Amino acid sequence: MTQLNTNFAGIKSPNPFWLASAPPTNSGYQIMKAFDAGWGGAVWKTLGVPVVNVSSRYGALNYRDTRMMGFNNIELITDRPLKDNLREIEEVKKRFPEHAVIASLMVETRDQWHQIMQDVTNAGADGVELNFGCPHGMCERGMGSAVGQEPRVLKTIVEWVMEVATIPVIVKLTPNITDITKPALAAKEGGANAISLINTIQSIVGVDIDRFVPYPVVDGKSTNGGYCGPAVKPIAMNMVKNCAQHPGVQLPISGIGGVENWRDAVEFILLGASTVQVCTAVMHYGFGIIRELTEGLSRYMDEKGFSSIEQMSGKALPNVKHWEDLNLQYKVVAHINEEKCIGCQLCFTACEDGAHQAIRLNSNPAIRIPAVFEENCVGCNLCSLVCPVENCITMERRDDGSENINWKERTLAGTVPVSFNDELAGGLHHTVPMPMEALQKDLPRHYKVK
């Protein structure tokens, strides 16, 4: 029987879905409503010295009418007095003792860290999350990502917190850094119990081309914001993987960034997370998405035979290698299912202009189904990615699986190209059309299907 309940570095919750520290966790009212709807935990909107925010605050990447494919904000931490937040934390914990309430914190001095740790612990928080990630506003004041980008400073602050911590401490990392494992290691060295990532990515989400000012507009001016939502998921997952694979880090990971449905959550967990946090999707669709998240995850775990989150966490990690470890003998080519093909010829255009001229049109324009010229197909996947019909273009294996040799082994064996005109180059023996052929107006008919 599938168990969704989790124990994340000592913080227990009925399921691995937590609200990320953000507007949906601004108040006890919202968090009680979310728990009632089925969320397992909530990271309270970051507490500290309350701020003054600007209006407006958000911008979005409305990519092909998806409205909020990417989301951008210039909001700061909480603008509510600490005493109100503490009272509400206490109320939420009383009403929902089994749920995880994590206090996100951001202050400056050692004394302030000690004081606020004591306050939220007394209020009954199950853990804290140190916000070393906010990439706008707070970093100008020496907090947020200004700390997350300086591993030594980060480690010192974690040490201050650990001097007084009696509840688990999660360090939330900024992605605005070249190597995410450096602050992750610093968190570990400072004594943190877990890490969470990612916070938002520094960004300009768009520019008003009539008023010459980026979004969001504040009285005719703007500033860089923090990017999140579905668009950042690939970046977040890579960073989670990097931390999970690092032998020196080995801390529980709460995965954040673009989680919108149960599949997103599964992907983060397979890459090493053991809880996931959600912000943008809740801001877009509300707390109700938790039903799809929990039901989908449960069904997936049942199907795969996982009885707990721990069992599935990191399952994909052994399959994430360095490029030099990949089998160079593995060979796939595109195959078009003629029964499914609708003759849109998008695959032809993509391969012709953007890949390897391995898809040909019939010389009879009335026949719209293209054909793959296998000798030229490098198996790049592009045509299958642009094809609008599901499973119409599939990649078929052509090597017999008997050989496995990677770049590392070929380097040792002396069979890698080393000079500019080396005969060992991978692209030799493909039919590359002559440059002048590009100017022939009857180009599509040039490729005749035999």
Ligand X SMILES: Cc1cc2nc3c(=O)[nH]c(=O)nc-3n(C[C@H](O)[C@H](O)[C@H](O)COP(=O)(O)O)c2cc1C
Number of residues that bind ligand SF4 (CB under 6 A): 28
Question: Distance (Å, rounded) from C-alpha 192 to C-alpha 175?
Answer: 18
- Counting contacts by CB under 6 A, is residue 345 touching ligand SF4? yes
H or E stretch covering 110? helix 110-123
- Counting contacts by CB under 6 A, is residue 361 touching ligand SF4? no
Question: Least distance from C-beta 120 to ligand SF4, angstroms?
Answer: 54
109 binds, among ligand SF4, ligand X, none (CB under 5 to 8 A by kind): none
Q: Are 124 and 31 in contact (CB under 8 A)?
A: no
Q: Are 190 and 155 in contact (CB under 8 A)?
A: yes
Question: Least distance from C-beta 337 to ligand SF4, angstroms?
Answer: 8
Choose the stretch contacting ligand X; rule: CB under 6 A; options: 8-16, 32-40, 255-263, 329-337.
255-263
40 binds, among ligand SF4, ligand X, none (CB under 5 to 8 A by kind): none
- By beta-carbon proximity to ligand SF4, the closer residue of 15 and 384 is 384
- CA dihedral 107→111→113→116, nearest 10 degrees, is -100
Cis peptide bond upstream of 216, omega within 30: yes
Considering just the CA atoms, what is the radius of gyration of the chain in Å? 26
Candidate list 92, 278, 293, 312; residue touching ligand X; CB under 6 A: 278
- Among the listed residues 131, 121, 28, 124, the one whose alpha carbon sits nearest the alpha carbon of residue 75: 131
Cis peptide bond upstream of 203, omega within 30: no
Q: How far apart are the first and last CA of the chain?
A: 56
- Counting contacts by CB under 6 A, is residue 228 touching ligand X? yes
- Whether 228 sits among the annotated catalytic residues: the reply is no
Question: Least distance from C-beta 438 to ligand SF4, angstroms?
Answer: 17
329 binds, among ligand X, ligand SF4, none (CB under 5 to 8 A by kind): none
- Counting contacts by CB under 6 A, is residue 393 touching ligand SF4? yes
DSSP one-letter string for 24-79: GGSSHHHHHHHHHHT--EEEEEEESS-----S--EEEE-GGG-S-SEEEE---S--
Point out the catalytic residue in the list 134, 243, 377, 387: 134
Question: Least distance from C-beta 256 to ligand X, angstroms?
Answer: 5
- Among the listed residues 370, 377, 320, 375, the one whose alpha carbon sits nearest the alpha carbon of residue 348: 370
Helix/strand/coil for 277: strand
- Among the listed residues 375, 346, 344, 370, the one whose alpha carbon sits nearest the alpha carbon of residue 359: 370
Choose the stretch contacting ligand X; rule: CB under 6 A; options: 275-283, 337-345, 366-374, 399-407.
275-283
Site string for ligand X, 17-36 (x = CB under 6 A): ---xxxx-------------
Question: Least distance from C-beta 444 to ligand SF4, angstroms?
Answer: 13
Question: Least distance from C-beta 271 to ligand X, angstroms?
Answer: 16
Active site residues: 134
Which residues lie near ligand SF4 (CB under 6 A)? Answer: 334, 336, 341-347, 350-351, 355-356, 358-359, 370, 372, 377-383, 387, 389, 392-393
